[in-house]
Amino acid sequence: MRRKLAAGNWKMNGTATSLAELEKLSSLYPNPDIDILICPPATLLHRAAQAVQANSVIVGGQDCHALVAGAHTGDLSAEMLKDAGAEYVILGHSERRQDHGESDELVRAKAIAAKDAGLIAIVCVGESLEQREAAETLDVIGEQMSGSIPDQPIGENLVVAYEPIWAIGTGKVPTLDQICEVHDFMRAKLEDRFGAASASSIRLLYGGSVKPKNASEIFSVSNVDGALVGGASLKAEDFSGIIQALENA
Ligand code: PEP
């Protein structure tokens, strides 16, 4: 059985006062039936890890460097994130692929670094609107998965998030059939490459304008094991609506 995961990505949002939202979330879910993850900006990671109660909300990073240490001004290694209290790290988010030119090869190297440091990598894949309209979605997802996911993954070191770029922060959401098609494809792709046992242990998240009002129907789709949430993870009240929908799915 795959444990469901509600993952929040705060992106470049949040200062010390935002920790109150995390404390609120942690006290609302002292012993959740699902994994609840918040990835705050790196400046808050250590304080965030200290602000949450044990066995409640967990924290993660939003990116890491592919190398362990060295002359890389401004970068953070997976080991540093782990040291600050992270259990997960988001890798290959479309904003990093676009803003920082991250390739599949680099995402794969980062995922290996994350695994070596004992972190669970959430590897993001997703098509642009042009690619969807050109009926290239599955080709794009397949290529990104082949290039970004390292060999021999299991659920203890990898989560894959399907995030159509056109749905991120836009309020637009694919139809349930479209989500189902991609998630079934991703599961089959993992099975082909890694075998049924490994593939069935890896959680698949949907991300892109998930809100309390649409979460239940998205979580009803087969092979959706949770969500990666941007905007609606910033406030405990909004994220809580999504968590409840996932707990009830
Ligand atoms: C995201 O950035 O990963 C995301 C899904 O954002 P939002 O929920 O705001 O669309």
Whether this prediction's pTM lies above 0.95 is answered by: yes
Pocket-testing residue among 125, 218, 229, ligand 1, by greatest number of atoms within 8 A of Cβ: 229
Which pLDDT score is estimated for 155?
A: 82
Best residue for ligand 1 mutational test, from 210, 224, 234, 242 (most atoms within 8 Å of Cβ): 210
DSSP one-letter string for the chain: -PPPEEEEE-TT---GGGHHHHHHHHHH-SS-SSEEEEE--GGGHHHHHHHSPTTS-EEEES--BSSSSSS-TT--BHHHHHHHT-SEEEES-HHHHHHS---HHHHHHHHHHHHHTTPEEEEEE---HHHHHTT-HHHHHHHHHHHHSPSS--TTTEEEEE--GGGTTTS----HHHHHHHHHHHHHHHHHHH-HHHHHHSEEEEESS--HHHHHHHHTSTT--EEEESGGGSSHHHHHHHHHHHHH-
What is the model's pLDDT at position 141?
A: 98
Q: Which residues of the chain have pLDDT under 70?
A: none
Does the C-beta of 230 come closer than 6 Å to ligand 1? yes
Is the CB of residue 226 below 6 angstroms from any atom belonging to ligand 1?
A: no
Give residue 152's pLDDT.
Answer: 87
Q: Which residues are designated catalytic?
A: 93, 163
CB of residue 210 inside a 6 A radius of ligand 1: yes
